[in-house]
Structure 1
Amino acid sequence: MKTWIKRTFIGALSATVLVGGLTACGSRGEHRHGGGWSEERITEMRGKAIQKVSEKLELNEAQKQKLGVLADEMLAQRKALRGDTANPRAEMQALIAGEKFDRTRAQTLLEQKTQAVQAGGPRVIAAMADFYDSLTPTQQAQVREKMEKRRGWWKRG
């Protein structure tokens, strides 16, 4: 693979994960009232997501196992992006707490998040590739169709 393609891909993936992480920091719901989801809640939602996708795609046991590995890698990446902070939203608010935007701290946060993506990204990509490659052509078509509609597995229809 050409170097510029790799760099573009890694840059796009990094930007996507960073924007997703920052969006999650500002999201509503349980994040507002308790500093985030508990490990039990995350495990429960992981199980529900795997069950829902498994039912929609009619996965066999080997495919479910690969989906579970993908979910675990994505959760590990989420934790790595979140870092050691108990309140990521407070970190973002600290950037604008003074008269001027804290560019140095923002750059440090960006570098931390980028390092997390670079460290865990290849494992997430490998897990996604292993899962996707294990799907039948019909199942792969279903995944592509869902992505084209830009609707998640939780929506009706």
Structure 2
Amino acid sequence: MRSFFKRNIRRTLFGIFGATLVVGSLSACGHRGDRWGADVSPEQYAQRRDKMVDRAASKLDLNDEQKKLLAVVGDKLFEQRKALMGQGTDPRAEIKSLVASPKFDAAKAQALINDKTAALQSKSPEVVAALAAFYDSLNPTQQQKVRDFMEGRHGWFHRG
């Protein structure tokens, strides 16, 4: 029994990680409802992105070039999100279909995980490159503000 676990622990951990990733991403996508649903139009997204860029620009004192780079980051994240959503507009329906019958549809679950993993792998290099270009364009003071935000020291978007 012990050798079974030694041989298959890596496969099991990857399977658990993959399932967690898929369920988490699908529930996160489905949680926002109509606000950021799969049916958001490019125009609606552009308006929201511009609002977020302006808000971040005011906190970081970004110049026009940096604003453009931040907008590219937003666009790449939106593309990756669309790829993760896939063809369906209801991610919860995909999960519900796995448990709709008396037996769990393991093949369909694995195919779903493979699709989501492939979407992440194909779009992630673009997202990372966009993030790197934006971050590298910041001066040291701006970079420190980003690090402070990441540490939770300053509530950029916190009201109060």
- Asked if structure 2 preserves the Cα contact closer than 8 Å seen for 1:46 and 1:71, the reply is yes
CA distance in 2, matches of 1:138, 1:59: 11
How far has the Cα of 1:153 moved from its partner? 4.4
Q: Which residue of structure 2 aligns with residue 3 of structure 1?
A: none
Match for residue 89 of structure 2 among 86, 91, 97 = 86
Once the two structures are superposed, the pairs formed by residues 37-76 of structure 1 within 5 Å of their partners are 37-39=39-41, 40-76=43-79
Q: How does 1:26-45 map to 2 (within 5 A)?
A: 26-30=30-34, 36-39=38-41, 40-45=43-48
Unaligned 5+ residue runs, structure 1? 1-10
Larger CA Rg, structure 1 vs 2:
2
Residue type of the alignment partner of 2:122:
A
Mapped to 2, the partners of 1:106 and 1:78 lie a distance apart of 19
Alignment RMSD (CA, Å): 2.7
Look up the equivalent residue of 1:86 and give its one-letter code: T
2:60·2:145 contact (CA, 8 Å) conserved in 1?
yes
**Could you list the runs of 5+ residues in structure 2 that have no partner in the other structure?**
1-13
Q: 1:110 to 1:74 in 2, by over 3 A?
A: same
AA aligned opposite 1:22: L
- With normalisation by structure 2, the TM-score equals 0.77
Q: In the alignment, which residue of structure 1 is the partner of 2:110?
A: 107
Q: What is the number of equivalent residue pairs in this alignment?
A: 143
Match of 2:27 in 1: 23
Residue identity matched to 1:130: A
1:116-152 CA distance string (max 9 Å, x none)? 1111100100000000010111111111111111887
Counterpart residue number, 2:133? 130
2:73 touches 2:127 (CA, 8 Å); kept in 1? yes
Amino acid at match of 2:129: A
Q: What SS class does the counterpart of residue 41 from structure 1 fall into?
A: helix
Mark the CA change 1:124 to 1:35 in structure 2 (over 3 Å): closer, same or farther.
closer
SS of 1:113's equivalent?
A: helix
Work out the percentage of aligned pairs sharing the same amino acid: 47
Aligned CA distance change for structure 1 residues 25 and 75 (closer, same or farther; 3 Å): closer
